[in-house]
Structure 1
Amino acid sequence: MSNIPDLASLHAMGAAQQPTYPDATAVDSAVATLRNLPPLVFAGECDDLTAKLAAVTRGEAFLLQGGDCAETLAGVTADNVRNKLRVLLQMAVVLTYAASVPVVKVGRLAGQYAKPRSNDTETRMLPGGKSVTLPAYRGDAVNGYDFTPESRVPDPQRLVDVYNASAATLNLVRAFVTGGYADLRQVHTWNTDFVRESGAGKKYEQLAGEIDRALTFMTAIGADPVEFHRVDFHSSHEALVLEYEHAMTRIDSRSNQPYDVSGHFVWIGERTRQLDGAHVELLSHIRNPIGVKLGPTTTADQALALAAKLNPTNEPGRLTFITRFGAGKIRDGLPHLVEKVTAEGIQVAWVCDPMHGNTFEASSGYKTRSFDDVLEEVQGFFDVHRSLGTWPGGLHVELTGDDVTECVGGGEALRDEDLAHRYESVCDPRLNRVQSLEMAFLVAEMLRKA
């Protein structure tokens, strides 16, 4: 396929974070099935997102990217998809008004089914004091969450299931965003309800009132553009399982260029960003807009080398650096990266992931994050960019539109003991609906000062 390395070559590079499938014939069968299925997204849509991200790179737009830490096949329901979409649209309205620039809306959905893990195995103490070790759960794209030997065996047929689930999700999203659900006035009404009815929301009454008056003015002068009634919305996920991403890479008939048609925007994670690794190699060949997660161990020279490999023509909108340092490290670690990359003239959008560097285990045993830590990392991100005269280009958050109890703090003042009430994530903790909207209003205040 064009100049795309084959799967065997990629695996020979020592590909990180890959499942160990017990049946090579079953893998070949699943990959062959995927290669014959229609695209989930189209090359022209990817190009459109690249143009929007170029505006982010220039400081003329802001990226809001959010959704589940790890989607589940069972979670593909109309209510689940609608709730995630709704909270992202609500956040986007607030951020758009505050920033006075377009907000590019990208969901962590329709493909976010695989997760890297720190360990290949998981050990649990079962009733009766027996210790059992099984393969780690790597997301529904790979194996099952149930802690049984049968469930934890990697099954390549799950990749086909992920394709079907992603197709259903995208079908729902496209129907919602073009069918009236994304109407600007309706979305603002939801925010007004949040401010009026939520203790966490009442403090943002002034900003909500400003947006309300702006919309009233637009109505009064008869302004009713099509953008008030529908939105552009794109999908994204971490390009982790090589069999899936390679099988979904196709040659565009218009340009004769390869695109990964599993999603509009794909990113390389902190654990798979090795310059000589398989993931960087594969994504260097596709024409989608791509992202790279950069953690506190990233050096400026590594960032420059990644940019040279992934975006050799220095095309604006092609590359996004998603920083994930942790609240206590962002102000010390980020400036040198931004300074050196900027000094070299690298065209890149800078986006803050305030979730992954702030995870800890609560006294109750649940993996959690503090809303205050998440907010502090975002504030540090904005402060660094403000001090350097660069643009804080976006926010990448793990969230849900449901009233889960997975992250402590926020306006609801969730505590460790509250986590057990509705802890539903199969991997990392997400901001719930109220915390997500509160985050949007707080980031809006930062944007007004940016």
Structure 2
Amino acid sequence: MQSQADQWNPDSWRARPIKQQPQYDNPSLLSEVLGEVRKLPPLIFVGEVDRLKQYLAAAGRGEVFVLQGGDCAERFQDCNKDAITSKLKILLQMSVVLCYGLRKPVVRIGRIAGQYAKPRSQDTEVVNGQEIPVYRGDIINSFEATLEARKPDPHRIKRAYLLAASTLNYVRALTKGGFADLHQPQNWDLTFMQKVPQRQEYERIVANIRDAIVFMEALGNREESLRSVEFYTSHEGLLLPLEEALTTFAPEQNHWYNLGAHMLWIGDRTRQLDGAHIEYFRGIANPIGLKVGPSSDPKEIIEICRTLNPRNEEGKITLISRYGEGKVKQHLPSLIQAVRGAKIPVVWSVDPMHGNGIKTQGGIKTRDFDAILSEVQESFEVHQQLGNPLGGIHFELTGQDVTECIGGATGITADQLDQNYETYCDPRLNYSQSLEMAFLISRMLGQA
């Protein structure tokens, strides 16, 4: 008799109910484009996926910390040198600050090179009196608010693949070519701290990092790790026809891998136990993130984890909590206790962004810096009280000086949001807010 795993194949999800998928007018064109993508080289390597899983296993034991961050939804137009460089720069700088404060290695995972699709709460919206399909990300349709532009276009899938490949190529060049050299922290921009009490403390941390590197090298330690870093990619595995096309069987490992990203996650809207997304994800060897929020039933989350990880591998599942400020202590303890009671190994991460969305009086979507930090604090306290390691944090951020979230040392107010509000979906922390957040979290978790 065949086991459940034996019955899986990359397209078995098609027999399950599915949510958050676009409706294409031309299915044959969609099949043609997916066929072209299948013939293209994979974006990442099997060995990289397995190595990340080992790091995540260590994070689950509290030995490593995971920083995951990047755009809410990547835009095609942002596949350029400056945008990619700025995203990588802020993630590297945040990771160094966290590494210094926590006194443990930090694994960097970008929401990059594939985060082109977004789930939406409604299928349509009314613009200028006309009902049109909602924008679902550049891989599906255009942000331009016309009926024609909002039609799902299969050609966008291949373009997304090619742009992801270009992004990855440049990221690899940067991380291995000297951009990540830790000898350069003096290039960090701390001007946003000029008028805040913590400025001297943050400058002291940067100075201490530089001194530590000089001291290590004075002792003869000239490790390559001081000049280059490992960097992994992730995206929400939402558009299943594409994820299927990126799935390959690795004979040596005897497993199927999605070679479009090192890690993929399942969102709060698509984690139905009998749904297509769970069916697809249960068959791949990649590490998988699972968003959990106020609607999560601990019993159901346990069943999902068992379905996704039947061999109970360490590093396979990351539970990314997203409750919102003031709701963490109501929901998180019962989930932690249930998962521990079921003896399921997971990495615990906190996403303090998605539960803290608000709208201004003018109807602009934003997030409050203090609320984001508060959810991190609440999550840390719950994990600490239960003796459970908090293994990571998940941000929507950019390395550019956008004005999308209010608060932080620069004091962005609701009235200033329209100065440089660029996101097509959810608001992101800008460069200064992201780096400030890293300093504050470093002090919170490690007393830097």
Task: Specify if TM > 0.5.
Answer: yes
1:279 aligns with 2:303: no
Q: Distance in 1 between matches of 2:41 and 2:395?
A: 29
> Does the CA contact (< 8 Å) of 2:192 and 2:432 recur in 1?
no
CA distance in 1, matches of 2:95, 2:8: 36
The verdict on how the C-alpha distance between 1:6 and 1:58 changes in structure 2, with shifts beyond 3 A counting, is closer
Secondary structure at the aligned position of 2:355 is classed as: helix
Counterpart CA distance in 2 for 1:60 and 1:6 is: 34
Q: How far does the alpha carbon of each residue in 1:369-411 deviate from its partner, in whole angstroms, 9 at most, with x for none? A: 0000100011111011000001011110000000000000011
Q: Alignment partner for residue 336 of structure 1, among 328, 334, 337?
A: 334
SS at match of 1:113: coil
1:27-79 Cα distance to aligned partner (Å, 9 max, x none): 11111111111100111110010001011011100000000000011110011
Unaligned runs of 5+ in 1: none
1-side partners of 2:250 and 2:424: how far apart?
A: 36
2:181 counterpart residue number: 183
- How far, CA to CA, are the matches of 1:6 and 1:290 in structure 2? 16
Matching of residue 52 in structure 1 with residue 52 in structure 2 = no
SS of the aligned residue for 2:269 comes to helix
Conserved? CA contact 1:350–1:393, under 8 Å: yes
* Residue of structure 1 equivalent to 2:236: 238
Out of 190, 200, 211, which is 1:194 matched to?
190
1:51-450 map, 5 Å: 51-124=54-127, 126=128, 131-186=129-184, 188-191=185-188, 193-194=189-190, 198-199=194-195, 202=199, 203-448=201-446
- In structure 2, distance between residues paired with 1:6 and 1:444: 41
Q: 1:148 to 1:243 in 2, by over 3 A?
A: same
Task: Report how far residue 355 of structure 1 moved.
Answer: 0.4
The 1:33/1:222 distance shift into structure 2, 3 A limit, reads same
Coordinate RMSD, CA, aligned: 1.7
TM-score by length of 2: 0.96
Matches of 1:382 and 1:197 in 2, distance apart?
Answer: 25
Asked if the contact 2:115/2:234 (under 8 Å) is kept, the reply is: yes
Matched-pair contact (CA < 8 Å) for 1:364–1:417: no
The residue that corresponds to 1:29 in the other structure is 32
Q: Classify 1:6/1:256 alpha carbon distance in 2 versus 1 (closer, same or farther; 3 Å).
A: closer
State the one-letter code of the partner of 2:82. Answer: D
Find the residue that maps to 2:167 and give its secondary structure.
helix
Residue 357 of structure 1 aligns to a residue whose secondary structure is coil
User: CA–CA distance in 2 between the matches of 1:391 and 1:182?
Assistant: 28
Could you say what secondary structure the match of 1:250 adopts?
Answer: strand
Q: Show structure 2 runs of 5+ residues with no match.
A: none
**Runs of 4+ residues over 3 Å off in structure 1:** 1-7, 195-201
Asked if 2 retains the 8 angstrom alpha-carbon contact of 1:195 and 1:205, the reply is no
CA distance in 1, matches of 2:309, 2:6: 18
Matched residue SS, 1:419: helix
Please state how far the C-alpha of 1:84 moved relative to its aligned partner: 0.1
TM-superposed CA distance for 1:224, in Å, is 1.6
Q: Say if 2:49 and 2:262, in contact at 8 Å, map to a contact too.
A: yes
- Give the Cα separation in 1 of the matches to 2:194 and 2:262: 35
Greater CA drift, 261-270 or 356-365: 356-365
Count matched residues: 442
Distance 1:327 1:216 in 2: 41
- Counterparts of 2:273 and 2:180 in 1: how far apart (Å)? 40
Residues 71-99 of structure 1: CA deviation (Å, up to 9, x unaligned)? 01111001100000000000000000111
Structure 1 residue 319: deviation in Å?
Answer: 0.7
